[in-house]
Amino acid sequence: MIQPLNPNSPFFHEERHATLAPLAEKLIAVCGAGALGGTLTETLTRMGFRRLKLIDRDRVETRNLSTQPYSRAEVGAPKARALANSLYRAVQARIEPIVNELNSANAEQLLKESALIVDAFDNRAARAAVSEAALKLELPCLHIGFSADGLYGSGQWEPGYQVPRETAGDPCDYPLTRPFAVTLSALAARSIIDFLRDGTASNFELTWNDLKISSY
């Protein structure tokens, strides 16, 4: 067994398999701090990533508490700032909160210094702005999202991403969204690590049926 170099490292467990420490200072821009973006941000920081930029214009609402990584005490606070503060207290992650609406006018400026971009927005205009900026800046970009019924999710890398049409419904209204979002975020984290380590850009899909449990 390969022993970790530093038992106090945030990568203690990962180093038993393959060290991720060289990736810790990569600047990752996460666009959207909702069920997917917020959960992915928490996942990455707890894995040891220490530099993230989190972009979201929204504030925490009571209805977010069942599907997103926020507490009742944070209701009313900007999502990006609330999550940055809680994760700094938890693991001393240096998250730069951007409480602003990302759009076609400012996307390039907000994203230009990133090593990697993750689009977890829930609206077509913002997703299109991220896609266009990533292509212009020639930066790697992973788009993650799920369907309005909360039963299908995917991750797609640029180039080749097709901005989805607007659909009615909000997957965050469904009680099964939380475990589905956590699973999608785990798949996204693995895809991000693969890309940063060796340039492998793997798309993925997940349906609720994939999570069925067989009883015996």
- Over the stretch 138-194, which tens digit does the pLDDT of each residue have? 999 999 998 877 788 999 999 988 888 766 666 666 667 888 899 999 999 999 999
**201 band by pLDDT with thresholds 50, 70 and 90:** very high
Query: Distances in Å between the alpha carbon of 127 and those of 56, 61, 107, 116, 189?
Result: 12, 22, 10, 15, 19
d(CA 28, CA 53): 6
Sorted by where each starts, the structural domains of the chain and their CATH numbers stand as: 25-209 (3.40.50.720)
Q: What is the dihedral of CA 158, 164, 169, 172, to 10 degrees?
A: 0
Asked whether the predicted pLDDT for residue 108 surpasses 50, the reply is yes
**212 band by pLDDT with thresholds 50, 70 and 90:** confident
Q: Kindly state the tokens that stand for 99.
A: 């409480």
- Is the pTM higher than 0.85? The answer reads yes
Say if residue 38 is exposed, middle or buried (CB neighbours under 10 Å; 0-12, 13-18, 19+).
buried
Please calculate the CA angle 130-132-134 and round it to the nearest 5 degrees.
65
Query: Distances in Å between the alpha carbon of 100 and those of 32, 57, 144, 197, 201?
Result: 10, 5, 20, 31, 29
Residue type at position 39? T
Q: Kindly state the tokens that stand for 102.
A: 């990302």
In a 13 Å sphere around the CA of 36, the CA atoms on its Cβ side amount to 26
Between 12 and 162, the more confident residue is: 162
Share of the chain above pLDDT 70, in %: 87
Residue-wise pLDDT tens digits, 113-129: 999 999 999 899 999 99
What pLDDT is stored for residue 12 in this prediction?
A: 47
Average per-residue pLDDT for the chain: 87
Asked whether the predicted pLDDT for residue 47 surpasses 80, the reply is yes
d(CA 213, CA 149): 20
**7 band by pLDDT with thresholds 50, 70 and 90:** low
What pLDDT is stored for residue 25 in this prediction?
A: 87
Backbone dihedral angles phi then psi of residue 35, each to the nearest 5 degrees: -60, -40
Tokens 């929204």 belong to residue: 58
Segment 202-210 mean pLDDT:
90
